[in-house]
Amino acid sequence: MNQSVGHLSVGQAASIGGPSFLARFFRLREHGTDLRTESLAGLVTFIVMSYIVAVNPFILGLDGAGLPARAVATSTCLVAGVMSILMGVVTNRAIALAPGMGLNAIVAFTLVGSMGLTFPQAMGVIVAEGLIVTALVLLGVRRYVLDIVPLPLKQAISVGIGFFILFIGLRNAGMVGFAAGFPELLPLNSWSILVAVVGLTATLVLIARGVPGGILWGILAATAIAFVVPGDVAAFPDDPLAGPDFSLVGDFSFGFVGELGVLTAVLVVFSLMLADFFDTMGTFIGVGGKAGYLDADGRFPDADKPLLIDSLAAVAGGAASASTATSYIESAAGVEVGGRTGLVSVVTGSLFLLALPFVNLVTAIPAVATAPALIVVGCLMVSVLGEREPATGTGSEAGRERRGIAFDDLEDAIPVVLTMLVMPFTFNITNGIGAGFLSYVLLKVARGKANQIHPALYVVAAAFLIYFLRWSLFGAEF
């Protein structure tokens, strides 16, 4: 609502944000909110999201052999700040963005750790994925791609990434290691493990009590303990106020195509695109439901603009070497305290930018202090298994709600379980998605339900079959 509110009393005007430019631009009165509420919501959203500034450098650090922490923290704040502000200004939605958990793990542990890409090449994958998704949004295809993938596979991808993150968290905490090629529980007898246990306990208690930013406070509590216990678990940086390091901005390469081969490169980009797709749509539905953005059918109206910004965020994240940036479900925290407009995202993004001078403090946080955040986030991602979808049947089935995943039906159970477990067991998201698609199509055909499969799924399944047989068919080494 852009018209003047000058006819109101001073008190009334103040209560809805007054006739200021911000109140008019973000249509605060129309949305039943005010400057104070939107600012508070932006602060709350920043608090619950800011753990990524500490966690992202450790994920992309890849056991100390990866990207420098200060530079990653700088890129993380920069991308989160700019893209959140852009989301708020362009869409007027209370949805903030930052490099995504799970997606960053794919970069570090799959693209670099498992497939042998350099970090610039891995970030080139992210940029390519973002550019393709942006094109799909502009062509109106992104919704189509989401519609052809069965709900069980969508949920399994999210859960598989969650298990992936959970395992990384347990490993970083020093609780799980490998013996004779198999994971095992390590002796819980070191000071670093104590730090992780204290952080995990604090995080779980804070989340259970509904404390905003429980994950962040858990990281800070674990860090404080790390500086107290013996054993040099944590070390303070020599120059804590060294300021931002923008050296990673623009450090990406499309050399991954030559390194992986065309087929594998295409499938890797496609797999990352699927993970990004489902993560974003889940966030839109989750936040949109709380904010009142959804229509009567549960759809997100006028979603093209938010989808476009989200897609451009993937490009920005790769270009800045911060990994794929995506819409954050934590935005719901700001909505819970009354945030309704894009001003929330603008405030959140501005706070990320204001944090840039202090990014070197992140290097004081040890990996064992961020491990509880990975464990908790990984566990929370499994919650999609509880999602349901409306029935589309007729007769006695009409209007009845169906489970998203029917584990008593092998057509759902086997593809879902393969997708969820192949990802963490092989440290490769592409392998998990491929196993899920192939088994889903195979079981449907074996049961005489080939006509229930969208033609595009046959093409995808065939591509994944070639991917799995690439060593035998082409003598591939990638």
Q: State the SS3 of 200-224.
A: HHHHHHHHHCCCCCHHHHHHHHHHH
Angle at 134 between CA 128 and CA 138, to 5 degrees: 145
DSSP 8-state assignment for residue 112: I
Ramachandran assignment for 99, one of left (phi > 0), alpha (psi -120 to 50 degrees), beta (any other): beta
Q: What integer pLDDT is reported at residue 426 of this predicted model?
A: 82
Quickly tell me which residue has 């549960």 as its tokens: 298
Half-sphere exposure (CA, 13 Å, Cβ side) for 124?
18
433 contacts 156 by C-beta, under 8 angstroms: no
Is the pLDDT at 232 greater than 50, yes or no?
yes
Q: Which two tokens stand for residue 21?
A: 């430019």
Element (H, E) at 7: none
Q: What integer pLDDT is reported at residue 423 of this predicted model?
A: 85
Q: Which two tokens stand for residue 350?
A: 């501005």
284 contacts 306 by C-beta, under 8 angstroms: yes
Cα dihedral sign, 440-443-445-451 = negative
Q: Which of 87-96, 141-150, 229-238 is modeled with the greatest confidence?
A: 87-96
Condensed to tens digits (0 to 9), the pLDDT of residues 159-208 reads 887 888 888 889 888 898 877 667 788 888 899 999 999 999 999 999 99
Rounded Cα distance between 398 and 394, Å, is 4
Q: Which of 3-12, 290-299, 419-428, 437-446 has the lowest mean pLDDT?
A: 3-12
Partners of residue 177 on adjacent β-strands: 184
> Which residues, 6+ apart, have CB-to-CB distance to 7 below 8 Å?
none
The H helix count followed by the E strand count for the chain is 21, 6
